[in-house]
Amino acid sequence: MRLSILDYAPVDENHLAADALASTVRLAQKAESNGFTRFWVSEHHGISATASNSPEILMARIASATKTIRVGSGAVLLPNYSSLKIAENYQLLGALFPGRIDLGFGRAPGGDARTNAALNDEKGGTVPYPRKVADLLGFLTGNHPAGSHYAGMRAHPETRDTPQPYVLGASGATAAVAAQAGLGFTFAHFINPHGDGPRAANVYRAGFQAGDFAAQPSTIVAVFVAVGDTEAEAREFADAFHLWLTYAESASPFKRIPSLETTRAHRWSPQELAVRARNEGRLISGTGDEVTAQLRELADAYETDEVMINLMMPGEAARLNAIEAICTALGKIARTSVDQARL
């Protein structure tokens, strides 16, 4: 099982955005040293508790501080920008860091309605998402669909390696888009854990058509993860996660990621507990051994060998320790498999 990371650059209590961004870079370095495949960063707007609102800028910083791990967006939000500008940004990243850039894109707005309006206030209209995708891929390769008024146009700088595109989805509606264009597909299990993901992955694999970007389908499943050294500590990290998430999608989100101290002092109302119950499937939590077993089950459900974890845990030390704990657990499994093979 291959592991990757999706990071929001969480801003902890009593910390600044600059602290969060520096922590994200160190997390990427830790992931690289432990053999992780990718490190992706998000695009969110108008949220004080996360600092990642421009994936391309943060990707450049991370890629310059690492050597081998693939760096990508999870996801750049295609409706907010021109397809040409996105293609140019990622071509430039590809020229700076050859063979290491992933272009994960999605169709969500990334903020509330007011923020979305501010991001798009000069636009006279919207372009249908399938056309936005077709234009983006055309600018990356120079191969536009027949009849496109962008025929012959290509993003610069031209590079030896084209960024690897991934469609990010949370409902299954974009699985066919990824399949028909021959792109990678990432399902946000951390948004929708209620069964649509495995079906979407099957639709994607069944309809995959090899093209300019990939000869074989590539499925990634992404999930929130909290890891503790003990079961009791893991429960506390899960509580902190759920406290953050309960308000993250409300009109009054936390301005920082709640600490364990804040979480311990919180008294859950019946309404909060109801929201928490609805969100339970979005998080995998436990000790390193327990989380690793659950990640394997998730990978099996999606019939993939790559899982992307989102460590929304309070404190940089806890997030770094989570990587170590999971990798230690994976090492135990690998040693056991070798020993069994020798018998």
Who has greater pLDDT, 118 or 273? 273
Query: What pLDDT, on a 0 to 100 scale, did the predictor assign at position 342?
Result: 47
Q: Residue 325: count other Cβ atoms within 10 Å of its Cβ.
A: 21
Q: What distance in Å separates the CA atoms of residue 328 and residue 336, rounded to the nearest whole number?
A: 12
CA dist 342 to 40, 42, 328, 331, 334, Å?
38, 44, 21, 17, 13
Amino acid at 170: A
Residues 6 or more apart whose Cβ sits within 8 Å of residue 260 = 236, 237, 240, 314, 315
d(Cα 48, Cα 44) in Å, to the nearest integer?
Answer: 10
Residues 238-268: tens digit of each pLDDT: 999 999 999 998 989 999 999 999 999 999 9
Burial classification of residue 282, based on how many CB atoms lie within 10 Å of its CB (0-12 exposed, 13-18 middle, 19 or more buried): buried
CB neighbours of 173 closer than 8 A, spacing ≥ 6?
none
Residues 272/208, Cβ–Cβ less than 8 Å: no
**What are the tens digits of pLDDT across the range 266-311?**
999 999 999 999 999 999 999 999 999 999 999 999 999 999 999 9
Give the pLDDT confidence of 73-84 residue by residue, as tens digits. 999 999 999 999
pLDDT-based confidence at residue 339 (cuts at 50, 70, 90): very low
**Averaged pLDDT for residues 139-161:** 94
Q: How far apart are CA 294 and CA 192, in angstroms?
A: 17
Residue 334: pLDDT band by 50, 70, 90 thresholds? low
CA 132 to chain centre: 21
The domain limits of the chain are: 2-227+284-342
Residue 340's pLDDT band, with cuts at 50, 70 and 90, is very low
Cα separation of 74 and 104, whole Å? 5
- The overall average pLDDT reported for the chain is 94
Full-model pTM: 0.95
User: What string of DSSP letters covers 218-268?
Assistant: -EEEEEEEEE-SSHHHHHHHHHHHHHHHHHHTSSS--SSBPPHHHHHH---
Confidence of residue 224 (pLDDT cuts 50, 70, 90): very high
pLDDT band at 333 (very low <50, low <70, confident <90, very high): low
For 194-223, how does the pLDDT look when each residue is reduced to its tens digit (9 = 90+)? Answer: 989 999 999 999 999 999 999 999 999 999
Kindly provide the b/e burial profile for residues 109-147, where b requires at least 16 CB atoms within 10 angstroms of the residue's own CB.
Answer: bbbeeeebeebeeeeeeeeeeeebbbbbbbbbeeebeee
Whether 338 has a pLDDT exceeding 50, the answer reads no
pLDDT digits (tens, 9 = 90+) for 82-113: 999 999 999 999 999 999 999 999 998 777 88
Question: Would you say domain 2-227+284-342 falls under CATH 3.40.190.10?
Answer: no
State residue 7 phi and psi, 5-degree precision.
Answer: -125, 135
Q: Kindly indicate the confidence band of residue 134, based on its pLDDT and cuts at 50, 70 and 90.
A: very high
d(CA 238, CA 330): 21
pLDDT value at residue 124 = 79
